Structure 1
Amino acid sequence: MTRYRAHGVTVVEHTLELPLDRAQARRGTIPVFARELIADGGEGRPYLVYLQGGPGSPSPRQGNPNDGWIGRALKDFRVLLLDQRGTGRSNPLDQLTLSAFDTDAQRAEYLTHFRADSIVADAEDFRAELGSAPWYVLGQSYGGFCATTYLSFAPDGLAGVYITGGLPGVGRSLDDVYRATYRQTIARTRTYLERYPDAELIEQIARHLEGAEEFLPTGERLSERRFRTLGMGLGTQTAFDALHFLLEDPFVTVRGTRRLSMPFLTRVGDQLSFAARPLYALMHETIYGDGPGTATAWAAARIREEFADELVLTGEHIYPWQFEEDPALIPLQGTAEILAAKDDWSPLYDEAALAKGDVPVTAAVYAEDMFVPTEYSLALADLLGARVWLTNEYQHDGLRASGGKVLDRLISLARQ
């Protein structure tokens, strides 16, 4: 444990050695890290455990913890920023660390222990280590999925739950989830193109990439289909407008030949590479593997065909061909194929337990959420008996983009 002061806040860093597989202790342990933040006078406050979106992303590394939603949380809580296993300082998994396994099958089996059920068990181990009474959880996006797993299998550890943009479609087929997200991606793209006159430019770039060889700074050819995945940022407030500036002035002429400029290719490469978080690409569809008989089978790629004539850009969707084109993912292609074919997943949710409504749940549901279908979120909120703030004031990243206003609204709503 390391303890220090930063910006008037006490910071305590914890690392626990926790079982990789709680069903087989002989498989050993992995380090799991959490950073605790305590405002002056806040030592007696209850804990708020933050579960980050993703999967595959660590908890925030925020320079001044008094800012944004963390600063708002510190007024009422001690904040515990948990690096979910496989991320940050919790046994990080990437192309290099996963190369320690000899086969794709070994890698895939190992990754089955890095889903929401294991993350929840880690949180409960931290609660026991810290001697905390039932505590509060804040789940953003995928973190809300994890919070729903927490409510399913360890509700006794919870005093209350806040969820922002992360109420999953419990009981819904993955195919239907992706149909809903594609429809919302099309709608969000339409909103973007109403604001910015970029439709023809996007198609010019796409046509150019179909006929010309353009290479990213990392060495691989940029394909038309990969270029179209730049739409992921349209689902957030912080990246929506940035796409317009990324796209501006992409062409140069070299010896009479039209080419994409190096600054443009560099910006695009930075956006499209999964080098910093390959776990997201590997595990994204596995978060919908809720119990036996639910092979994900590259659902985003299958369902995309139903919307092929309407899609200009794609959103939070992972495709098998990305493991052929992204240098950070190519060594993991076989592992991804095994995970996509797996059909004996452990359950992530218990609808009967969720329906009991023993734990107070307060949720922000974004009316135009491009990543988590609004109609399914509202259905789960009804099952949970949750207090809901349905809003179109913010997009999927409202927790961060609002500077603490979203969390403040949920804390106030929970107290009513």
Structure 2
Amino acid sequence: MTRYRQPGLVLTDHRFQVPLDHARPDGEQIELYAREVVASGRAGAGLPWMVYLQGGPGFGANRFHGKQAWLGRAVKEFRVLLLDQRGTGSSTPVSRQTLPLRGGPAEQAGYLAHFRSDSIVRDCELIRPLLTGGAPWTVLGQSFGGFCAVRYLSAAPEGLAAALITGGLPSLDGHADDVYRAAYPRIARKTAAHYARYPQDVGNARRIAAFLRANRPVLNSGYTLTVEAFQSLGIALGGGDGSHALHYLIEDAFVETTQGPQLSDAFQERVHAALSFAAHPLYALIHEAIYGQGARPTDWSAERMRAEFPAFDAGLALAGDVPLPFTGESVHPWHFEVDPALRPLRETADLLASRTDWPRLYDQDRLAANEVPVAAAVYHDDMYVDTAHALRTARSIRGLRTWVTDEFEHDGLRAGGPRVLDRLLALVRDEV
């Protein structure tokens, strides 16, 4: 273990060996990394533990500098574990560089089938007694981390003192098609709100899309910027400051050159940073798999559901005078063609999309008999997680208390962390 300090905090690095397949505990092992954080004045105190599960899938835990966001509130009374879920951050990595070590696409897809919430919860239950001495801990789950928390309540509630969920109540029995069929109308609303705020972006976005349609440029990074890829910048609209970020990104896209107007280097760099999956390929690979339950494949659900909403066809905007529609949090087959970080993994992704033996993730009978204190922040028009689905799940978990708010978007835990965490703790303690 390595121990070090930041202002007001003592941090300790932990590394654990866990089975790739928990059904074969003596089989192949992978490494998990986690960072323990405690207030410097309480480093030796016997504090209860809180484990934080990041959203995604495919993102490591936050790399905070000091008591940022919700962490400052948490360390007032908890010893916090920032866990890099398997395949993310400093845990055993997953990427186009490492997956060929597994073998071909079939072996890679079989390997990645062990990176969903069921395996993540088993990981937590392996490392919990090593840290807490066997005492249950509180889980804080953001977005996909909330999906993991609901799985935790289904599979190992004895390990939990409480569950706090922010923007992450999954549909318990819905197929990926249900998720994306509900998502596209929300994305359309967010896009309309963006153009209402920044009407000049109607012309800016259409001009960029027309250039992309005519030229299909390859960015300096090697990323092929298609119209569909440009539309996917709308993923930012699910965050509290996302509309502003999108506006500033596209307002100065072009520069005059000897060949006429071209996409500026600055625009290319910023677009690549927003669109590339190089830093988090696991997100693209298993994004739809997190909804897989039973024999029905996900089968590139977001792509198929998009066809049910012809208003998202960029051709309508380019042929007429309607605003260009942006899209949101979805992964499509074309991502594995335009992004150099994903191109070698297309066949692997196809195999995951066609998989028909996903274990069920949620035990509805056990959730209906739940005894763990649970509170969930539900954002009233969350672009990433359907509010109706979330509230239906909330009603299915015994004792769960909701805080439904329109003060925050999906990133409320980042934007208003201390207040959000305060509210959820008060709910699980019956203080409000």
TM (norm. structure 1) is 0.97
Amino acid at match of 2:192: R
Question: What secondary structure, in the 3-state scheme, does the structure 1 residue paired with 2:65 have?
Answer: coil
1:136 maps to 2:149: no
Moved more, 231-240 or 102-111: 231-240
- Residues 175, 292 of structure 2: 8 Å contact kept: no
After TM superposition, the runs of 4+ consecutive aligned structure 1 residues lying more than 4 A away are none
- Residues 295, 357 of structure 2: 8 Å contact kept: yes
Residues 156-209 of structure 1: CA deviation (Å, up to 9, x unaligned): 111110000000011122211111111111111111111011112211211221
Amino acid at match of 1:178: Y
1:210 maps to 2:185: no
**Aligned position for 2:126:** 125
Question: What secondary structure, in the 3-state scheme, does the structure 1 residue paired with 2:366 have?
Answer: helix
Q: Residues 256, 339 of structure 1: CA spacing in aligned structure 2 closer, same or farther, 3 A cutoff?
A: closer
- Residues 108, 338 of structure 1: 8 Å contact kept: yes
**Aligned position for 2:173:** 171
Q: RMSD of aligned C-alpha atoms? A: 1.4
Q: Residues 28, 256 of structure 1: CA spacing in aligned structure 2 closer, same or farther, 3 A cutoff?
A: closer
Question: What secondary structure, in the 3-state scheme, does the structure 1 residue paired with 2:70 have?
Answer: helix
- Residues 215, 265 of structure 1: 8 Å contact kept: no
1:407 maps to 2:421: yes
1:334 maps to 2:337: no
Amino acid at match of 1:387: R
Residues 6-47 of structure 1: CA deviation (Å, up to 9, x unaligned): 223222221111111121234321111111112223622211
Among the aligned pairs, what percent are the same residue?
50
**Aligned position for 2:316:** none
Q: Distance in 1 between matches of 2:37 and 2:53?
A: 15
Amino acid at match of 1:204: R
Q: 2:326 aligns with which of 289, 313, 319?
A: 313
Q: Distance in 2 between matches of 1:133 and 1:163?
A: 20
Q: Distance in 1 between matches of 2:241 and 2:283?
A: 20
**Aligned position for 1:276:** 279
Q: 1:189 aligns with which of 188, 191, 204?
A: 191
**Aligned position for 2:8:** 8
Q: Distance in 2 between matches of 1:180 and 1:407?
A: 28
Q: Distance in 2 between matches of 1:281 and 1:29?
A: 24
Query: Which ranges in structure 1 are unaligned for 5 or more consecutive residues?
Result: none
Displacement of 1:256 in angstroms is 6.0
Query: Which ranges in structure 2 are unaligned for 5 or more consecutive residues?
Result: 314-324
Displacement of 1:310 in angstroms is 4.4
**Aligned position for 1:17:** 17
Question: What secondary structure, in the 3-state scheme, does the structure 1 residue paired with 2:138 have?
Answer: strand
- Residues 238, 397 of structure 1: 8 Å contact kept: no
- Residues 102, 111 of structure 2: 8 Å contact kept: no
Q: Residues 68, 213 of structure 1: CA spacing in aligned structure 2 closer, same or farther, 3 A cutoff?
A: closer
Moved more, 93-102 or 2-11: 2-11
TM (norm. structure 2) is 0.93
Question: What secondary structure, in the 3-state scheme, does the structure 2 residue paired with 1:274 have?
Answer: coil
**Aligned position for 2:237:** 234
Q: Distance in 2 between matches of 1:108 and 1:32?
A: 20
Residues 211-262 of structure 1: CA deviation (Å, up to 9, x unaligned): 1242211124311111111000000013321110000121233336332222
**Aligned position for 1:245:** 248
Displacement of 1:82 in angstroms is 0.8
Question: What secondary structure, in the 3-state scheme, does the structure 2 residue paired with 1:211 have?
Answer: helix
Q: Distance in 2 between matches of 1:29 and 1:94?
A: 18
- Residues 68, 404 of structure 1: 8 Å contact kept: yes
1:61 maps to 2:74: no
Q: Distance in 1 between matches of 2:117 and 2:255?
A: 47
